[in-house]
Structure 1
Amino acid sequence: MLGMSARALSFGAIAEAYERFRPGYPDELFGTVAAYAGRPVRTALEIGAGTGKATRLFAGHGVDVTATEPDAAMLAELRRTAPPNVRTVRAAFEDLRPGGTYGLVYAAAALHWTRPEGRWSRVAALLEPGGVFANFGGPFRLADPAVEEAVRAARAPFLESDDVPSPDGTAPEEELQWPGTELERSRLFRDVRQSVIRRRLRVSAPYYLGHLSTVSAYLQLPPPERREAFEAITRVLPETVEVAADLTVHLARR
């Protein structure tokens, strides 16, 4: 199995599909972060902005966002739709140069691609005193157990699992999930909270396949195997599927 860094670098080639087939983020998410902050959020730094799904949410609420992203293709897609209050920086999180601080530092389904060494000290150094860190994301799961099992069986000859494992090994049944576990252990943050925003989406089978085409586990398959896997999955999918796309939100204060 390829490591996290190799999987993280697999997205640039499919930036357009990522923008098309990854769902955006709801206003409820911004409300959750803003309510936790307890004061106006005026500036933010985004870790691993991708094509700007979360960037547009926060910028649309008047936040001046500095969106960082190491991949040129993803960043080009982001810039195509970025509003004027977004500044883009092509850089991995680990390569950001010291500079100003922000009221909010956040990551949208990207933090697990960063290196663990020094992760939290870097985040803390980017935050104003009392500033907020937010992390959010979640799997895109078929809601019907029968359809999910059919897809799992169709995928099995090519791929055992398409999950991204917990970076610190936290079991799925544990109440507090990563990165809340690391934030709790860190002395740099306080008031760690975890909440879930429930989402159910009904999408077409081609959209669901399009989403799978952006998932790192499939991107790492050799192209012939990837094509065969998608053909096998297509054969067991109904015309439309219901998807559970819950967002787990972690918040902490500097």
Structure 2
Amino acid sequence: MAVMLFGEVADNYDQARPGYPGEVAEAIRAYHGGVPTRLVEVGAGTGRATEVLVGLGAPMTCVEPDRRMAERLTARFPEVEVVVAAFEEWTPPPGGVPALACALAWHWLDPDTRNRRASDALAPGGTLAVFGHRYDYVDPAQGAAIRAAFESADPSPHRDPQDDWFHADIAGSGHFTDVRLVPFRRAVPLDTAAYQALVSTFSPQLKRPPELRERVLSAVGATVDGFGGTVVLDLRTTLVLARRPA
């Protein structure tokens, strides 16, 4: 389960994972038509997206199923209400909430019910904001070499979803109107240790047995060292905004 996977690396998660651009909050505010009277974040983890969402200035509730992640979240954002529960177990307040956000956790929610549950959690006319990163490489040669390093250490097939897969998921659900996609893109340089730390927080890596994890980290680390000790990520952030019909 994702809860067990990411709780294992709670101490490193918020340090290794890159944050989100502040423009995400600005786009949510503009779409919503101002500051929501309350914002609920689903699958908040240790708060990598929370640190941007608090910039909206709305009272916040974070729903996070892993207690270890929730403890770090509470320590970082004492002003935020933290509920330790899976989204499927959380009960929204009567009448729903004006805004609901989910960052890099939409794929962990039940695909058969996530859109309906999100719609039901929102007040009529409420805003849904789903966003996440896609990791690529500025230099195609670096990307090819790193992918080859992963495959040399672990040839098991792994296919990344499309950048905007959750746009199609939300737009095709029939539960929302005015569905919009807002892309952001930036270059993020990482040294070898920082890149290995990032890889260590990815779910495919956490699912590997310990010896295989070490082989993967060694292989990608040697590859980045071969570039002079720095890899530059092409970090693509996709924000999907949608509205529950009034």
Structure 2 length-normalised TM: 0.91
Q: Secondary structure at the match of 1:99?
A: coil
Matching residue within 66, 80, 91 for 2:85: 91
Which residue identity is paired with 1:52?
Answer: G
| 2:240 corresponds to | 250
String of CA shifts for 1:43-83, please: whole Å, max 9, x gaps: 11111000011112222331111101101111111111104
List 4+ stretches of structure 1 deviating above 4 A.
Answer: 160-165
Specify the alignment match of 1:3 in structure 2.
none
1:112 aligned partner, one-letter code = H
What is the CA-CA distance between 1:87 and the residue it aligns to? Answer: 0.3
Task: Tell me by how many angstroms 1:162 deviates.
Answer: 8.4
Name 1:207's counterpart in structure 2: 194
Q: Secondary structure at the match of 1:243?
A: strand
Match for residue 9 of structure 1? 4
Q: CA deviation at 1:161?
A: 7.0
Aligned residue for 2:52? 57
Q: Distance in 2 between matches of 1:11 and 1:75?
A: 11
SS in 1 for 2:30: helix
Counterparts of 2:58 and 2:182 in 1: how far apart (Å)?
Answer: 22
What SS is found at the alignment partner of 2:36? coil
Aligned 8 A contact 1:105 1:132 in 2: yes
- The answer to whether structure 1 residue 224 and structure 2 residue 207 are counterparts is no
Contact 1:162 1:218 in 2 (8 A): no
- Per the TM alignment, residue 94 of structure 1 is displaced from its structure 2 partner at its CA by 0.6
Distance in 2, Cα, partners of 1:180 & 1:140: 17
Matched, 1:235 2:222: yes
Q: Is the 8 A contact 2:25 2:55 kept in 1?
A: no
Name structure 2 gaps, 5 residues minimum.
none
Identity of aligned residues (%): 35
Contact 1:69–1:89 under 8 Å retained in 2? yes
**Partners in 2 of 1:226 and 1:132 — Cα distance?**
40
CA distance in structure 2 between the aligned counterparts of 1:33 and 1:202, rounded to whole angstroms: 27
Distance change in 2, residues 1:236/1:185 (3 Å): closer
1:102 is aligned, of 92, 97, 101, to 97
Aligned match for 1:136, one of 131, 134, 154:
131
Distance 2:233 2:208 in 1: 24
**Aligned match for 1:30, one of 20, 25, 33:** 25
CA RMSD of aligned residues (A): 1.9
Q: 1:169 corresponds to which residue?
A: none
- Unaligned 5+ residue runs, structure 1? 1-5, 167-171
